[in-house]
Amino acid sequence: MATQWKYIQQGQAMGPVSEDQLKALLASGSLSWEDLVWREGMPDWATARLAPGLSQGPAPIALDLPPVPAAPQNPFSPPRAALLEALGGGAPGDGVAAEVVEVLRQTKPWARLLGVLGFVGIGFMLLASVAMLAMGSFARGGMPAGLGVGMMLLYLVMAGLQFPAALFLNRYASRIGDLVANPSQGDLQAALAAQKAFWRYVGILTLLFVCLYLAGIAIAIVVATVFRAGH
């Protein structure tokens, strides 16, 4: 397989391109000899004039770059250079820092567990709704039929409210799996978007219940006041 090169141009990681294509860019002036390049086997990014295997241009000019901080590296992506850290951090190209991937990887089992338990709970609620309907339909001198139907509807509403939360959690876990398998900015954004959807739904649901709770308190106060006034 021909050697593949990556290069930095205007603060963006480009490539990979073949060695002949890289040399053509240097020869045409589209790529400067002072631009950073990298290929597999190099310990870090280097200017094109100092990169092994490329035709040397004019005398090398030393670059006063800040030291590269020690950090775990993704073995499947090029090492991070100090210039890239200064331009916004993260791995070159479309990669994601290994530390971020590891944190999300550890989050995935818990998100999956809660998502699966959410669907299990929904299943139990559906079974309970059927049981309530049956008890209301066949009970003799026990639970009124109307109460059985009401309990069935209550369980169905509870299952319906829980379904989106369980769905968003499982989707979040799946997006983390995609990110771990192929770390990229697109997969990271998809995982964070799934997480945002879950928390947005939980926030809206919480506000709804708070409003219902306050409305219940207000109604209870009004009823109590009217009852006392009537007596």
Query: Is the pTM above the cut of 0.85?
Result: no
pLDDT (average), residues 183-212: 89
pLDDT (average), residues 176-188: 86
pLDDT band at 81; cut points 50, 70, 90:
very low
Fold of 4-87: Dna Ligase; domain 1 (3.30.1490)
- pLDDT surpassing 80 at residue 220: yes
Q: Where are the domains of the chain?
A: 4-87, 98-230
Going by DSSP bridges, is the β-strand pair 46-47/12-18 parallel, antiparallel, or unpaired? unpaired
Helix (H) or strand (E) run with residue 134 in it: helix 98-138
Angle at 90 between CA 86 and CA 93, to 5 degrees: 100
Q: For a pLDDT cut of 70, what percent of the chain falls above it?
A: 77
Measured CA to CA, the distance from residue 106 to residue 176 in angstroms comes to 10
The residue ranking higher by pLDDT, 149 or 46, is 46
In this prediction, residue 204 carries a pLDDT of 93
Helix (H/G/I), strand (E/B), else coil: 179? helix
In this prediction, residue 117 carries a pLDDT of 94
pLDDT band at 168; cut points 50, 70, 90:
very high
Q: What is the pLDDT of residues 106-146, one digit of tens each?
A: 999 999 999 899 999 999 999 988 887 777 666 555 556 57
Torsion of CA 81, 47, 94, 199, to 10 degrees: 30
pLDDT (average), residues 40-50: 86
Closest Cα partner for 54 from 39, 43, 74?
39
Q: Which residues pair with 9 in a beta bridge?
A: 12
